Amino acid sequence: MELESLVSVAKSKNAPRTSDADTLPYGGGVDRGTNTPPAALSRLPVLRSLIEAKGCGLLGHSARVSGIACAVGAKIGLPRTELELLATAAEVHDIGKLGVPDRILLKSGRLTDAEYAVIQQHPEVGRDLLRMAGSRGNLLDVVLCHHERWDGEGYPFRRRTTESPLAARILSLADTVDAMASDRPYRASQPMERIFGELERCSGTQFDPNLVDVFLTLARGSRSHDWVDRIAAQGAGQLAA
């Protein structure tokens, strides 16, 4: 199926929806493995490169998020299979943005409520794209929930605390850190101390407070101008070992 058709189906009411056969129960821990066949996994880098090609500050974003997430996951003692799930989910967490028009995705000004509603569809569109590409189970859950919040005010389902998978909560934190540390169409990158302050402010509301503590412990040991890249490299090294 051509990409445009695939995205169109994923955004439509005809997209295959989550079933009990496709997902595992939510809980406090990361589900082991991605439940995704190797042939499907081989397609995922192509999807990631397509969204990064759109620009909007996303070049290299997925790889950095993957590294940051794995650094946090390793720090809390996740086994290799769960780190692999984290890395894979991070690599493709934004592919649902293929369904977001460039006029919204690349907008330099504030989004309208209607435009933000379109952005909020990308976790579900991403989940459906991944399913149609052959992914199953845990990977779909993590991508679907990476914009949920600890206080239940996130999207798309307003899940709270441990109702979202641990991998999704780690991914949410890593995604936000790299977004704040990167130039985006609507604002310049933020300095390290401001990012730390924002994480502390949002601990227990947007983010799992235990994960914020873990990340800040990691980050405060890397006080250099390239601190994000250093943490990402540390996490990537966990998988290369």
Q: What angle do CA 13, 130, 99 make, to 5 degrees?
A: 55
Q: What is the pLDDT of residue 7?
A: 53
Domain 28-240 CATH class label: mainly alpha
Locate tokens 């790299």: which residue? Answer: 178
Q: What is the pLDDT of residue 25?
A: 32
Pure H helices in 13-112: 38-41, 44-52, 61-75, 80-92, 102-105
Q: What is the pLDDT of residue 10?
A: 53
Q: What is the CA radius of gyration of the chain?
A: 17
Per-10-residue mean pLDDT, the chain, length 241: 51 46 35 58 71 68 94 96 93 90 88 96 94 88 97 97 96 96 84 95 98 95 82 90 74
In angstroms, rounded to a whole number, what is the distance separating the alpha carbons of residues 75 and 94? 24
* Torsion sign, CA atoms 230, 231, 235, 236: negative
CA distance 227 to 212: 16
Domain ranges of the chain: 28-240
Under 8 Å between Cβ of 4 and 129: no
The pTM of this model reads 0.84
Amino acid at 152: G
Residues 6+ apart with CB under 8 A from 45: 91
Identify the pLDDT of residue 26. Answer: 29
